[in-house]
Amino acid sequence: MVAPDIIPPPPGIYVPVPTFFKPASTSNGTSANAYSSATTPPPDLETQAAHSVYLAERGIRGLALLGSTGEAVHLTNEERKSILKACSEGLTKAGFPDYPIIAGTASNSIDEVVLQLEDAKEAGAQWGLVLAPGYFAGATRPNGVIAWYTAVADRSPIPIMIYHYPGVSNNVKLPPSVYHTLAPHPNIVGCKLSHGDASVHAQIALHPYVRANPLSFSTFTGLGQHLLPVMAVGCVGAIDGSAGFFPRTVVRLWTLAAKAEGLPSCFKTHEVVRRGSIGLWERGMSGISKDERKELRDLQYAVSSMEELVVTHGTVGIKEAISRLRKFGDVEGTRLPLMGGLPGGDVEWAKWAPVIDAVEEIETRLENNPGEKGKPALFSPTFKSDDEKAENGAPPAAK
C-alpha cells in the first residue's frame, strides 16, 4: 500500500507563484532603511495570500512557491518561511485546507536544502521541488547527481521532486537515466522539467517503472506551451507561469487534454490515498468529442502563442501580466539584479496585445460561464461524481 503522505502532488495545473514585494515608496524609516527597502523591498504577504486564494478559486490544483519565478535566490530563510506560512494560512481561512503547496529549493548544499525543506514542512508545504545542483555543471556527472538527490531525499521530512531547469542551473545535464535510477526512492515522487525536450519527457513518463507506479512518481512539465503533446506521452500536468494570470484557460486546456488521454481513470484520488484506501477513480471520462478536440487544439495554440511573453521576459513578464491583468502586485516589484517592468514599458506590452487579448477573451468567457464558475477542480478531494452522490443518497446536480 502507498504510504498516505508519500505520494506525488495530484495531477493538474500548478502555478509557480511569483514573490510579491512591497513598493519601495512605502518605506517610511530612516534614510538607511529607505535605501535598504529600495534595493531589497520586503515581501508583500497580504498580496501573496490573496493571489493564492484567487488561483485556488479558479481551479488551480496547487502552488509551487519559492521557485525560479518566486525569486527564491533573492530571499532569506526567514522570508521563505513567512511566505509559505502566509499562503498556507490564507488558503485555510478561505476554505482551502490542506491545499497542495510545493516549496522550492535552489541551494547546492545538501545541508542547506534539507534545512529549507524542514522549514517548508513547518510552514505548511507538503512537497519540496529541489533544483538540480549546477554550480559545477561542467564537472558534474550523472552518478554525482544521483548521489546528491539520494542524500537529500534520505533526510527530507517531506517528499521531494527533481527540478531540472537548465536555464538557471548552468545548463547541467540530467539524462533520463538519472530519473530512472531515482524514481524508485520512496521519498522522491516526481519531477518538473523546465525545458523543451519532449523526448526526455517521454523517456521519463513512459519508463516501465513510472508507468507501473503512477502513485509513486509523476512527471510534470514546466512549460504550458507544450502541455498537450507531453500529456500524450504520460505527463500528468504542468507547473506553468502563465496560469498565474490565465488560470481558467490553462486549467481548461489541462482538463480537455486529460479527458483526451483518459488520465483520470489511471489515478487514485488524493483523499482516498490519504485515507489508506486503494480505491481507483474507476469511472474515468467518456472520451472527447469532436468539438472538444477542436477546442483543445485551439486552446493549445492560444496558450502557446501567449506564452512567448514568458519565454521572452521570464519572471519580469509574469509579474507584469499579473499586475496589469489581475491587479496583484506592482510591475516594478522585483529584487536586484532583476529590474521590474518590461523593457520598453507600455510600448513593449502593446506588442503582445493581440495574443494577450485573445486569451483574455477565453479567460473572461470561462470566468463568466455559470456552468464552470465555482466548479471544483478535477481531483479535488471534495469533488464527487453524480454516481457517487447517488450512492450516498444525494440527488445528481441539475443539468
The grid cell for 13 is 495545473
**Which among 2, 70, 7, 13 is positioned nearest to 252, based on CA atoms?**
13
Residue 163 annotated as catalytic:
yes
List, as one string, the DSSP characters of 236-270. -EEE-GGGGTSHHHHHHHHHHHHHHHTGGGG---H
Query: Taking the CA of residue 116 as centre, how many other CA atoms within 13 Å lie in the half-sphere pointing to its CB?
Result: 30
Q: Check if the beta carbon of residue 254 is closer than 8 Å to that of residue 232.
A: no
Residue 241 CB partners (closer than 8 Å, separation 6+): 15, 16, 69, 224, 307, 310, 315, 318
Active-site position among 163, 165, 268, 319: 163
**Which among 91, 162, 89, 102 is positioned nearest to 128, based on CA atoms?**
102
Backbone angles phi, psi at 8, to 5 degrees: -70, 165
Active-site position among 22, 81, 192, 259: 192
d(CA 9, CA 129): 11
Residue 120 CB partners (closer than 8 Å, separation 6+): 66, 80, 81, 84, 103, 128, 158
Terminal CA-to-CA distance of the chain, rounded, Å?
Answer: 38
Q: Check if the beta carbon of residue 210 is closer than 8 Å to that of residue 204.
A: yes
Beta bridge pairs of residue 105: 130
Residue 89 CB partners (closer than 8 Å, separation 6+): 49, 124
d(CA 375, CA 173): 41
List, as one string, the DSSP characters of 60-115. --EEEESSTTTTGGG--HHHHHHHHHHHHHHHHHTT-TT--EEEEE--S-HHHHHH
CB atoms under 10 Å from CB of 351, counted, come to 13
Q: Which residues form the catalytic set? A: 163, 192
